[in-house]
């Protein structure tokens, strides 16, 4: 039985035979970023011309985005709930805590807004169509890519907002020690 290793990097996943590790830098290929049209052609090479499989795949992608966006929204709700209970006390402790709590709150709210206007926006994939099935699939791939980018932006804004919350709590704890 041949042993294979999976190498995960920011450029994707590659399967590597451990016996061939000597020429690793030259044997690994850089993954290409495909345009929506190229991605559709690639998916057709994998799945054939079965459009129902291709539509199912697109709908599964939207489902994954929806689930991940709901997870981020849950973190946002927890953050806002904590702010409601302990935010006023933290904000009263110092101007630093007040400032960092305020900017944390702003970034968390922007993150929620982007999630609600992006990945969590409800649009049925079969309600809209273009001239052909291929054009409709390309449009779905573009919509998926757009929502994925909004998901990443919302996650980044949420992390910036969390850093504000952590800064305010640290400021609060330093005030308590004095």
CB atoms within 10 A of CB 1: 3
Short-list 147, 35, 113, CA closest to 43: 35
pTM equals: 0.76
CB 69 within 8 A of CB 122: no
pLDDT tens digits, residue range 115-132? 999 888 877 767 777 888
- Mean pLDDT, rounded, for 96-103: 92
Looking at residue 49, its pLDDT comes to 85
Split at pLDDT 50, 70, 90, the class of 25 is low
CB 40 within 8 A of CB 141: yes
Short-list 157, 167, 169, CA closest to 76: 157
pLDDT tens digits, residue range 42-73? 999 988 888 889 989 999 999 999 999 999 99
Q: Where are the alpha helices (DSSP H) in the chain?
A: 24-27, 36-47, 51-93, 95-117, 133-177
pLDDT tens digits, residue range 134-151? 899 999 999 999 999 999
């Amino acid at each position: 039985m041949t042993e294979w290793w999976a190498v995960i990097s920011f450029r994707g996943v590659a399967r590597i035979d451990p016996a061939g590790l000597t020429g690793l830098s030259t044997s690994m290929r850089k993954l290409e970023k495909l345009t929506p049209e190229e991605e559709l052609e690639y998916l057709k090479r994998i799945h054939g011309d079965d459009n129902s499989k291709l539509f199912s795949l697109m709908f599964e992608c939207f489902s994954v985005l929806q689930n991940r966006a709901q997870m981020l929204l849950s973190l946002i709700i927890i953050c806002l709930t904590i702010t409601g209970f302990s935010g006023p006390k933290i904000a009263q402790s110092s101007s630093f805590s007040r400032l960092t709590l305020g900017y944390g709150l702003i970034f968390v709210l922007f993150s929620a807004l982007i999630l609600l206007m992006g990945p969590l926006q409800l649009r049925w994939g079969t309600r809209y169509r273009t001239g052909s099935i291929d054009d409709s699939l390309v449009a779905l791939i573009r919509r998926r890519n757009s929502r994925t980018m909004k998901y990443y932006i919302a996650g980044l804004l949420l992390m910036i907002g969390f850093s504000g919350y952590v800064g305010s709590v640290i400021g609060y704890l330093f005030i308590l020690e004095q």
